[in-house]
Amino acid sequence: MNLKNDLKRVAKKIAAILYPVGKDKVLFINFNGRGYGCNPKYIAEELISRNEPYHYVWLVNDLNEPMPKEIEKVYIKSWKAKIELLTAKVWVFNVRNYKGIDKRKGQYYVQTWHSSIGLKKVEGDVKDFPEVSRKESMYDGQITDLMFANNDFRANQIRRAFWYDGPIIKCGVPRNAVLFNTPQSLRSKVLNEFGIKDGYGIIMYAPTFRIKSGAETYVWDYKRICKAFEEKYNKKYVMLLRLHPYVMEQSQDITFDKDVINASKYPDMQELLAVADFLITDFSSCAFDFSFAKKPVLLFAKDKKSYLSNERELLLDIDSLPYAFSETEEELLNDIKSFSENEYEKKCNEFFNSIGLHEDGQGAKVIADWVEKKMME
């Protein structure tokens, strides 16, 4: 054991000489190589907009992934990726630290995670959390230099579930910037992508994933629901179905047409949320993101009882949230017909006040400020 540790120390000294930490490099990872999205994307875009002379590196599984020209793409399983990790001044990740590389002196690590208000139990809050994952999570908490929370409930969860005792900035979720400031060009981009006529309303159905069930969980009479919206709001609607990336392939088992569109492979879910007028989800934290921007949410799950019993434990009582929850299509139709914007906003405000919410769409700027400060040290 001593020999192994001695060799490791020697290897680190050699690496420090051959590959010193750079002063201008910021490295991003989104879901261990999934591509350009989530919180890292919006922090990167804020930094790029400031025209600082930084070298931006993004580790990806697919080198064909579209990226801004200012970002260098590197295959995540390559030797070059290891060198980039070794030499970056700042890391920005939204999942646990990429395995195999220890953080070095002079490096800084921002852990953004990938949810806002933690509805489902994660990391140390999970009952029977695997020991290997537990050790990885504890190590990640020890080497992290910054996390953020947009509410007091989340800040407490970070301390407890992530084994983290470092600074927590109270700011908005970086990826929510686009929900508070949605340019017309983005709406046009999404409409063109899916062939949606201008003037149509957009309903987004974005359920979380299941481990123990298949596509049948997500199948219901979408067109009937669209018609209910049309009758209530006197305009045409289309529905975008966005399955969780873990079960994206299950969308192949669902029938789509011109009014029910498969958006599961669209790279950035926040862009879809930004242009949607209504969100239907179940146990996904995207409900919070959507309602932060005062946009209407309905919850629907045919398998509510079995999900709560057999899939994931929740930190919050699902029935305490400010969103109507239906378990049948008839209940969902009634929730659509009886939906009141004023009552919904009142319930949301009461809930957000109870958890000490701070969400203004400025989180990317706050984190970018911190990154810039560290780049100058």
What does the domain layout of the chain look like in residue ranges?
Answer: 2-177+361-375, 183-354
Q: How many whole angstroms separate alpha carbon 364 and alpha carbon 38?
A: 11
Confidence band (pLDDT; 50, 70, 90) for 7?
A: low
Judging by beta carbons within 10 Å of its beta carbon (0-12, 13-18, 19+), is residue 52 exposed, middle or buried? middle
Distance of CA 102 to the CA centre of its chain: 25
Global pTM value: 0.91
At 299-327, the pLDDT tens digits run: 999 999 999 988 888 999 999 999 999 99
The average confidence (pLDDT) of the chain is 91
Q: Could you give the C-alpha distances from 1 to 5, 101, 230, 270, in angstroms and in order?
A: 6, 20, 69, 48
Of 287, 208, 275, 213, nearest to 242 (Cα)? 208
Give backbone dihedrals phi and psi of 258, rounded to 5 degrees, phi first: -65, -25
Does residue 83 carry a pLDDT above 90?
A: yes
Tell me the average pLDDT across 22-28: 95
Tell me the average pLDDT across 232-236: 96
Does residue 207 carry a pLDDT above 60?
A: yes
Count, residues in the chain: 377
Of 220, 210, 224, 359, nearest to 290 (Cα)? 359
- Residue 294 backbone class (left: φ over 0; alpha: ψ -120 to 50; beta: rest): left
Give backbone dihedrals phi and psi of 226, rounded to 5 degrees, phi first: -55, -45
Distance of CA 344 to the CA centre of its chain: 24
Identify the CATH class of 2-177+361-375: alpha beta
Task: Report whether 270 contacts 189 (CB < 8 A).
Answer: no
Does residue 57 carry a pLDDT above 90?
A: yes
Does residue 127 carry a pLDDT above 90?
A: no
Q: Report the relative pairing of strands 147-149 and 237-241 from DSSP bridges.
A: unpaired
Task: Report whether 147 contacts 341 (CB < 8 A).
Answer: no
Tell me the average pLDDT across 57-76: 96
**Cα end-to-end distance, the chain, whole Å:** 36
pLDDT of residue 250: 67
Give DSSP secondary structure letters for 159-209: HHHTT--S-EEE---GGGHHHHS--HHHHHHHHHHHTPPTT-EEEEE-PPP
The architecture (CATH level 2) of 183-354 comes to 3-Layer(aba) Sandwich (3.40)
pLDDT of residue 323: 97
Judging by beta carbons within 10 Å of its beta carbon (0-12, 13-18, 19+), is residue 206 exposed, middle or buried? buried
Task: Report whether 277 contacts 203 (CB < 8 A).
Answer: yes
Q: Tell me if domain 2-177+361-375 and domain 183-354 are identical in fold.
A: yes
pLDDT of residue 102: 85
Q: How many whole angstroms separate alpha carbon 283 and alpha carbon 304?
A: 9
pLDDT of residue 118: 80
Residue written as tokens 């007091």? 152
Residue written as tokens 């600074």? 167
